[in-house]
Structure 1
Amino acid sequence: MFEKIQFTCADGYVLQGRFFPKQKDSTQLPILIGSATGIKQGFYQAFATWLSEQGYDVMTFDFRGIGDSLYEPVAKSKAFIHQWGQLDLVAAIDKLCQLSNVSQIHLIGHSAGGQLLGLAQNYQKVKSVVAVAGSSGNTKGLGGKTKFLGPIMFNVIFPVSSFFKGYAATHFIGMGENLPKGVGAEWREYCNKGGYATNAIGKTVFEDFHSEIRSPITAVHALDDEIATKHNVQDLLRTYPNSTTKMISLAPKQYGLSHIGHMAMFKPSHQQLWSIIADQLHAQPQHAA
């Protein structure tokens, strides 16, 4: 069960979320789930419900321009990824602290949802981060067929669809919801070089908190993930030089699974992996090699 909520960012933009109250007494800090690029919060409902059954207050939300936080045709949306980190994530952290009456929360972020804390001015309110399939997405570090399809998406599909349709077309290639063209353009910028959001420093980002963050960050990725490859996970973790970091690599066959990839870790079919994610909230990471 969850409660529909809404909350307002510093620039007045209203975001839609869901609050899953803990279903048993505990003293655990609440968990904010950050969505991947173009993925609606409903994708995480089963996982959020499971966490609430373990004794966590849990909150999900849609970034501006996505899902319930899109109030107009996507072609008219003025959303950008840097706003997701500077405004949306900040407001979501504050909202969950308010709902649970705490001063700190945990962040479990999927892909982009775990890659933007360095842009959030209230990063001190995040006790620990688990970045699931979190990486820099650097096109040079992609694997498998994505190594070839990724550059085509960024350098051909996005510019062409943005020009003719007014948005970055992703739905037809199975990459989530169609994206506001500003999101598509910044995603391309962030991934065409290493370092993800650090590529925007001095352009759209003028307050950078990556080096100030000291909360432990654990990156959990699958060995068959063609986006969050070992190279790209390490590339993301290096952007937090003063945080203790850890990388956990999961082999599908080790868990009796045919695949995990970039998306499946949050699916009910892969529930045996959920305790691995939750356990990292209590772990003491070491600096990644």
Structure 2
Amino acid sequence: MNTYESCWINCKDGYQLAAQFYPAQGSSKNYPILICPATGITKTFYHSFAEWLSQQGYSVLSFDFRGIGKSLHGALKDSTASINDWGLLDIPAAVETLLHHTQAEKVIIIGHSAGGQLIGINPNYEKVAKVVAIAGSTGHVKGLKGKTKLLAPVMFHIVFPLSSLIKGYGAARFIGMGENLPKNVAKQWAEFCSKPGYVMNAIGKSIFEDYHQEIQCPITSFWATDDEIATQANVKELLGLYPNAKTKLIELKPQQHGYKQIGHMLMFKKSHHKLWPIIESELII
């Protein structure tokens, strides 16, 4: 038995995104959930978590950003997708699709990494009741730690430029950083993380609508102490971009929850299901 319905999200510019809708099982609880993925991560990565949420009574929509997974149409080297597009076009279209499916007034966004970092450029931010950012941060290279602090400059300044030049896309898969990326995504990722502020680096240059000041919905950010990307400094920097929102920072120490690691990715894994009720507790408004 399939626990989800495959569907397409139609964006304002006509681009179509592949999505999976999980209807609430039993009585619908609270607002529906939109899962916004991390850079280069496909919707299938979140399947077990989305399925669990639906069992708890939430309607859930997960999707692939343009240029990623089944939302890549044609050759990757020909994709013009950018991180700007993800925030300005993809997320708002996903919000509208979920509202249409559920007839709800608002959604709750569970954003993983980049998926929780773009609400400030989302033009229909008023339809978002709350944001729960999982490993959401500015990703600023100076705030990184561990081997990622060494790997990031190599990826941003050598691997991505060379692979974009030679292959026409940002080679991320071979270094374990998700799917290979459209060249504009790879370029912006490097630009956004090289300076403080992440997407704020595009405001006034390639993005001319900025809603960070207007956003007043609650924003909760989960970070694991062994996360080398969403470090405490980088998470706090992201939350600081929303001066008028009620923000909350929740620290997760792996050993306290019976895990050796949580890091940047494992919170959504079935192996880490003990963390899911902790995340769900933040969905209550």
Q: Paired residue for 1:287? A: none
SS in 1 for 2:213: helix
CA-CA distance at 1:26 after TM superposition: 3.0
8 A contact 2:10–2:16 mirrored in 1: yes
Q: Paired residue for 1:152? A: 154
The unaligned stretches of length 5 or more in structure 2 are none
Instruction: State the AA in 2 paired with 1:147.
Output: K
SS in 2 for 1:249: strand
Q: Paired residue for 1:142? A: 144
Q: Is structure 2 residue 57 aligned with structure 1 residue 55?
A: yes
Q: Paired residue for 1:190? A: 192
Distance (whole Å) between structure 1 residues aligned to residue 40 and residue 61 of structure 2: 18
Q: Paired residue for 1:286? A: none
* TM-score (structure 1 length as normaliser): 0.97
* TM-score (structure 2 length as normaliser): 0.98
CA-CA distance at 1:140 after TM superposition: 0.4
CA-CA distance at 1:276 after TM superposition: 1.0
Q: Paired residue for 1:37? A: 39
Instruction: State the AA in 1 paired with 2:159.
Output: I
Distance (whole Å) between structure 2 residues aligned to residue 168 and residue 267 of structure 1: 26
8 A contact 2:30–2:284 mirrored in 1: no
Distance (whole Å) between structure 1 residues aligned to residue 78 and residue 273 of structure 2: 37
CA-CA distance at 1:274 after TM superposition: 0.6
8 A contact 2:131–2:219 mirrored in 1: yes
SS in 2 for 1:212: coil
Q: Is structure 2 residue 276 aligned with structure 1 residue 274?
A: yes
Runs of 4+ in structure 1 over 4 Å off: none
Distance (whole Å) between structure 2 residues aligned to residue 160 and residue 240 of structure 1: 35
Q: Paired residue for 2:118? A: 116
Instruction: State the AA in 2 paired with 1:57.
Output: S
CA-CA distance at 1:78 after TM superposition: 0.5
Instruction: State the AA in 1 paired with 2:5.
Output: E
Distance (whole Å) between structure 1 residues aligned to residue 281 and residue 200 of structure 2: 29
Distance (whole Å) between structure 1 residues aligned to residue 74 and residue 152 of structure 2: 28
Distance (whole Å) between structure 1 residues aligned to residue 245 and residue 29 of structure 2: 25
CA-CA distance at 1:282 after TM superposition: 1.8
SS in 1 for 2:146: coil
Distance (whole Å) between structure 2 residues aligned to residue 103 and residue 94 of structure 1: 10
Q: Paired residue for 2:235? A: 233
Distance (whole Å) between structure 1 residues aligned to residue 74 and residue 231 of structure 2: 35
Distance (whole Å) between structure 1 residues aligned to residue 157 and residue 231 of structure 2: 21
Q: Deviations over 1:25-69 (max 9, x none)?
A: 134110000000000000000000000000000000000000010
Q: Paired residue for 2:93? A: 91
Distance (whole Å) between structure 1 residues aligned to residue 177 and residue 85 of structure 2: 21
8 A contact 2:4–2:21 mirrored in 1: yes
Q: Deviations over 1:240-279 (max 9, x none)?
A: 1110101111000001101000000000000000111111
Distance (whole Å) between structure 1 residues aligned to residue 29 and residue 96 of structure 2: 19
Counterpart selection for 1:10 from 12, 19, 30? 12
Distance (whole Å) between structure 2 residues aligned to residue 59 and residue 174 of structure 1: 26
CA-CA distance at 1:203 after TM superposition: 1.1
Distance (whole Å) between structure 1 residues aligned to residue 119 and residue 239 of structure 2: 12
Counterpart selection for 1:103 from 102, 105, 112? 105
Q: Paired residue for 2:245? A: 243
Instruction: State the AA in 2 paired with 1:48.
Output: A
Distance (whole Å) between structure 1 residues aligned to residue 159 and residue 241 of structure 2: 29
Q: Is structure 2 residue 78 aligned with structure 1 residue 71?
A: no
Q: Is structure 2 residue 24 aligned with structure 1 residue 22?
A: yes
SS in 1 for 2:20: strand
Instruction: State the AA in 2 paired with 1:166.
Output: G
CA-CA distance at 1:73 after TM superposition: 1.5
Q: Paired residue for 2:84? A: 82
Q: What RMSD, in angstroms, separates the aligned Cα atoms of the two structures?
A: 0.7
CA-CA distance at 1:117 after TM superposition: 0.6
Q: Is structure 2 residue 168 aligned with structure 1 residue 173?
A: no
